[in-house]
Structure 1
Amino acid sequence: MLREMKEEDFIVSKTDLKGRITYCNQIFMDMAEYTEEELLGKAHSIIRHPEMPKAVFRYLWETIPKKEEVFAYVLNKTKNDNGYWVYANITATLDDRGNIVDYYSVRRRPNPKALDVIIPLYQKMLSVEKSSGVDASFKVLTDILQEKGVSYDELIISLQDQ
């Protein structure tokens, strides 16, 4: 079953530098169908849906350590194997010396029109990933960006704003 966030919902979480959850708000717990005790200290990948291309997470983990924020559409999996789409913004939290201390993510309801573009793209990426690996899946994404003449961020943000 596919769950939907409400328009006014914001899912908030923090992870340590290894991606383990250190904070999650009530909406996160409700959407993910987990308790706080089940989430704290666990890898954020506990909610990774198998229909989500690994290449998107590769981009994320290559970008946020460079202190650059990431916007992404993510299909998450709940404890009870339900799914829910989010429009995620992930950033690094910095201390006074500019060192990354943790990662902070805010997710909101994705624009349904954006999912009309993202779902077929992710299905194509996932198919290529299964047959040829993450690098080939990533190339599907970069080829589309090049064809459209936009950066990853420009594509993702424009889809949410349409």
Structure 2
Amino acid sequence: MKRPSPTAQERTFAENEIIVSKTDVKDRITYVNDVFCKVGLYDEADVLGQLHSVVRHPDMPRAIFHLLWQRIQAGQEIFAYVKNLAKNGDYYWVLAHVTPSHDLQGRLEGYHSNRRVPARQALVDIEPLYRRLCDIEERHPDRKQGMHAALEAIESDLKARHLDYDRYVLGLAAIGR
């Protein structure tokens, strides 16, 4: 699927709606709910079998996805603010809760994500942080070095605030609720 050029138009969804998707262990989409399709302007056929990164907005720092993958591949859940890309290039913000999924024998079979409307006030903190992390990543000619420099920056910021990543994100999630 061809990725659209991002627009400056934001899409929203209701606070009582939850965007749901599931992937296999290689991050290929195996399930999406109607809210996923409605908000992202996708038909189910557009995304099933595609890598979940099909909805990754270019404004998202690679460092945040690195943290996410580190956590879920270690069998842990994670909450993260994510800016997603709709099929037409519009964007939408979510507070994502991503967890590993296991079969009846306890083997990892994929990942499950529920996404809710983020508190608008939380985005006041997140948007400039993500811009700064993207700037750090872009300053390095090597993508991996850039990502690691951005990871160091966020870890340093959180340490200065006496927070770990989870307490930071969940603290922001409580804002405006």
Provide TM-score, normalisation by structure 1. Answer: 0.97
Matched residues, number? 162
Q: In structure 1, what is the equivalent of residue 169 of structure 2?
A: 156
Which deviates further from its counterpart, 13-22 or 136-145?
A: 136-145
Question: Could you tell me how far 1:5 is from its partner in structure 2?
Answer: 1.9
Q: Alignment RMSD, CA only?
A: 0.8
128, 151, 156: which one aligns with 1:138 = 151
**3-state SS, counterpart of residue 42 of structure 2:** coil
49, 52, 77: which one aligns with 1:69 = 77
> Take 1:147 and 1:47, find their aligned partners in 2: how far apart are those partners?
32
For structure 2, which runs of at least 5 residues remain unmatched after alignment?
1-8, 141-145
- Which residues of 2 match residues 74-113 of structure 1 at below 5 A? 74-113=82-121
> Take 1:142 and 1:5, find their aligned partners in 2: how far apart are those partners?
31
Which one-letter code corresponds to 2:19 in the other structure?
Answer: I
> Take 2:151 and 2:10, find their aligned partners in 1: how far apart are those partners?
26
CA shift digits 1:70-105 (9 cap, x unpaired): 100000001100000000000001234432111000
Which one-letter code corresponds to 1:158 in the other structure?
Answer: G
Question: Could you tell me how far 1:137 is from its partner in structure 2?
Answer: 1.0
Question: Could you tell me how far 1:6 is from its partner in structure 2?
Answer: 1.1
17, 25, 45: which one aligns with 1:37 = 45
Question: Could you tell me how far 1:28 is from its partner in structure 2?
Answer: 0.1
Give % identity. Answer: 40
For structure 1, which runs of at least 5 residues remain unmatched after alignment?
none
Q: In structure 2, what is the equivalent of residue 4 of structure 1?
A: 12
Matched, 1:20 2:56: no
Question: Could you tell me how far 1:158 is from its partner in structure 2?
Answer: 0.7
CA shift digits 1:32-65 (9 cap, x unpaired): 1110000100000000000000100011111101
